[in-house]
Chains A and B, each alone.
Chain A
Amino acid sequence: MPLPLRAPARGRGAAAPAWLAALPALIVIGLFSAYPVAVMVANSLGLGQPPADGGPTLEHYVRAFGSATVRDALVNSLLIAGGAVLFTLVVAVPVVLRQADDDRAGRGGAAADALLTLPIALPGIIIGFFAIVLTGRTGLLGLAWDGFSGLAYTFPGLLIAYVYFCLPRVLGPLRGAAATLDPALTESARTLGASRPRVFCTVTLPLLLPAAIEAGGTAFAVALGGYGTVATLSEGVRLLPLNVANELTTGYRLAASSTLAVVLAAMAVLALVLGRVLARLVRRAVAS
Chain B
Amino acid sequence: MSTHATATGHPPAAARAGGLTVDGLTVHYGSTAAVEDLALDVAPAETVAVIGPSGCGKSTTLRAVAGLVPVSEGEVTLAGRDVTGLGPARRNIGLVPQNYAVFPHMNVAANIAYGLRARGAAADRREERVREMLELTRLTELAERRPDQLSGGQRQRVALARALAIQPDALLLDEPLAALDPQLRGGLRRELAAMLAATECATLIVTHDQREALALGSRIALLREGRLVQFDTPQRLWDDPADAFVADFLAGSVLLDAERDHGHVVALNGRWRIPVRDLAVRTTGHGTTRLLLRHDSLTVTDDSDESALVAEVTHSEFTGDAVHLTVRAGGQVLGVRVPPDARIGRSVSLAAVPGRATLLTPET
Query: Complex Cα distance A198/B148, Å?
Result: 24
- Name the interface residues of A198-243: CB closer than 8 Å to any CB of B: 198, 202-203, 206-207
Tell me which residues across on chain B come within 8 A of A191, comparing CB atoms.
Answer: 66-68, 88-89, 91, 93-95, 163
| B166/A192 in contact, CB under 8 A | yes
Task: Say yes or no for B307: interface residue by CB 8 A criterion.
Answer: no
Task: Say yes or no for A188: interface residue by CB 8 A criterion.
Answer: yes
Given A192-B118, A192-B166, A194-B89: A187 and B94 interface contact (C-beta under 8 Å): no
Number of B interface residues in the complex (CB < 8 A): 30
Task: Say yes or no for B11: interface residue by CB 8 A criterion.
Answer: no
Task: Give the residue name and chain of the A residue nearest to B146 (CB).
Answer: A287
Number of A interface residues in the complex (CB < 8 A): 20
Task: Say yes or no for A185: interface residue by CB 8 A criterion.
Answer: yes
| B115/A192 in contact, CB under 8 A | yes
Tell me which residues across on chain B come within 8 A of A202, comparing CB atoms.
Answer: 114
Tell me which residues across on chain B come within 8 A of A194, comparing CB atoms.
Answer: 89, 114-115, 118
Query: Complex Cα distance A288/B104, Å?
Result: 9
Task: Give the residue name and chain of the B residue nearest to A193 (CB).
Answer: B118
| A188/B89 in contact, CB under 8 A | no
| B105/A206 in contact, CB under 8 A | yes
Task: Say yes or no for B107: interface residue by CB 8 A criterion.
Answer: yes
| A184/B162 in contact, CB under 8 A | no
Q: Which of B66, B114, B119, B159 contacts A189 (CB 8 A)?
A: B114
| A190/B89 in contact, CB under 8 A | yes
Tell me which residues across on chain B come within 8 A of A246, comparing CB atoms.
Answer: none
Given A286-B105, A288-B107: A182 and B99 interface contact (C-beta under 8 Å): yes
Task: Tell me which of B114, B148, B159 has the highest count of chain A C-beta atoms within 10 A of its own C-beta.
Answer: B114
Given A192-B118, A192-B162, A192-B166: A184 and B101 interface contact (C-beta under 8 Å): yes
Tell me which residues across on chain B come within 8 A of A206, comparing CB atoms.
Answer: 105
4 A-B pairs besides A190-B67, A288-B146 with CB distance below 8 A are A182-B101, A189-B103, A192-B94, A287-B104
Q: Which residues of B contact A (CB under 8 A)?
A: 66-68, 87-95, 97-99, 101, 103-105, 107, 114-115, 118-119, 146, 148, 159, 162-163, 166
Q: Which residues of A contact B (CB under 8 A)?
A: 182, 184-185, 187-195, 198, 202-203, 206-207, 286-288
Could you write out 22 A-B pairs with CB less than 8 Å apart?
A182-B99, A185-B101, A185-B103, A187-B68, A187-B101, A188-B101, A189-B114, A190-B67, A191-B67, A191-B89, A191-B91, A191-B95, A192-B94, A192-B95, A192-B115, A192-B166, A193-B115, A193-B166, A194-B114, A194-B118, A202-B114, A287-B148
